[in-house]
Amino acid sequence: MSIELKKLTKRFGSLTAVDAIDLDVGDGEVLCLLGPSGCGKTTTLRMVAGLEAASDGDVMLGGKRVNELAPRERNVAMSFQFYALYPSLSVAENLAFPLYAEQLSGAEIEKRVAQVAKTLQLENILKRTPGQLAEGEKQRVAVGRSIIRDPQCFLFDEPLSRLDVQLREEMRGEIKEVLQDLSRPTVIVTHDQLEALTMADRIAVMRDGRIEQVDTPHNVFQSPSNLFVAGFIGTPQMNLVSATLKGSNGEGLADFAFEGDQSLKIKVDPAVSQLAPGATVTLGIRPRNLEMSQEPTEDSLSTKIDMVEPMGAETLAHMNDGHHDLRLVTDWRVPLAEGDHVHTRFPPDTTHIFTEDEQVLRSTP
């Protein structure tokens, strides 16, 4: 079993919602489509489901082209953002509904409902109607209804977006566990990066109908392939500071000048020597990788602490060098006071460099 998308495109009038995307999801793999709202991730999912017709390109399920098949002929299970439980049916009937279409015997249906109810702890609420359920229970019923069949693949549209934080963490684990047992290709649409990072085997980051990067959660986080992915993944957001390359020696020691006449020298990558002196680049560094120093060093900017936000185990400090706002996260025990002057260091092994056309030039190992 696999899902393959080939140059899949969806146009609504003059708007291209999904722009020639290629994607592969293997058997047992969980792929998260992650992106800001309106980036085309749900449209992509709906095209796989057959609820939306592709304007161009192919949807292949298990190696077979299914573009022309109706949703019910594709044998795909989907769970919806607002759960889409059938309001007039009881929980048990909701769970059993997909099985009616398969014309199973009554005994078999009962058996499967009992089995799914047990997996998802729905035994006590089988007789209730959706109107009488709490959000978390509705979510579980929706998941149950999608896993009760044996479909070719699973699709989840924003499965956790309606739950509160605590329930979300709980359900995240539960869904992950269920998906591991199912070992079918699964696509999860989400705008919540934490959800994607925790649940996915691979993440496809989307923007404006295109896929910006497909990789494992670790790689998407550690080696963003362009400026958008770098800025989108990770909280607090990666610091992205534009600078001008003054020059570099052949071994990767580069000299960057910043707005406001500050500059720093860091040993990055021999690749910088490809750039002509005077080229504009963007330095990217995660708030947890910035370091502070009391003394000026070659690889630091002189900054003032604007604001301090305690986040429990860590503290988020907003630093300013007069032109750029830098976010720095440090241990809560480090004493920080607003108005203090410190030097903010860019450790070379955690500094990303992006070229002017927003592509990565150097990422961290």
Partner 1 sequence: MARKHREIGKAGWGYTAIASVIGFIYFFPVLWIILTAFKTRTDALAVPPKLFFTPTFENFVSVFYRTSITTGTAQATDMGLYFFNSIFIAFTSVGLALIVGTLAAYAFSRYPLKGNDTYLFIILTTRMMPPIVVIIPIFLMFRLSGLAGSYWGIILLYTAFNIPFSVWLVKSFFDELNPEIEDAARMDGANERRVFFNFCIPQILAGLSATFVFGLILTWNEFLFALLLTGVETRTVPVAMARTLGGEVGVDYGLLAAIVTLFLIPIFFVTFLLQNQLLRGVTFGTVKK
Stretch that binds partner 1, among 85-93, 278-286, 320-328, 337-345 (CB under 8 A): 85-93
Considering only residues 125 to 184 of the shown chain, the ones binding partner 1 according to CB under 8 A are 131-132, 145
Stretch that binds partner 1, among 29-37, 69-77, 188-196, 319-327 (CB under 8 A): 69-77
Amino acid at 72: R
Cα dihedral across residues 66, 97, 181, 175: positive or negative: positive
Buried b or exposed e, range 105-115, using 16+ CB within 10 angstroms: eeeebeebbee
Q: How far is the CB of 37 from partner 1 (least distance, A)?
A: 17
Q: How far is the CB of 335 from partner 1 (least distance, A)?
A: 49
Interface with partner 1, residue 100, by CB under 8 A:
yes
> Is there a contact between 213 and 205 (Cβ–Cβ < 8 Å)?
yes
Partners of 258 in the beta sheet?
none
Amino acid at 10: K
Interface with partner 1, residue 88, by CB under 8 A:
yes
Q: How far is the CB of 101 from partner 1 (least distance, A)?
A: 2
Stretch that binds partner 1, among 33-41, 66-74, 180-188, 335-343 (CB under 8 A): 66-74
Q: How far is the CB of 52 from partner 1 (least distance, A)?
A: 10
Helices (H), ranges, 120-226: 135-147, 165-182, 193-199, 217-222
Partners of 307 in the beta sheet?
318
Residue 292: φ, ψ to 5°: -110, 150
| Contacting residue, 22, 38, 58, 82, with partner 1 by CB under 8 A | 82
Between 70 and 165, name the residue whose CB sits nearer to partner 1. Answer: 70
Q: How far is the CB of 318 from partner 1 (least distance, A)?
A: 39
Would you state the torsion angle of the CA atoms of residues 184, 61, 188, 82, taken in this order, to the nearest 10 degrees? -110
Q: How far is the CB of 108 from partner 1 (least distance, A)?
A: 15
Please report, as ranges, the residues that interact with partner 1 according to CB under 8 A. 46, 49-51, 70-72, 76-78, 80-88, 97-98, 100-102, 131-132, 145
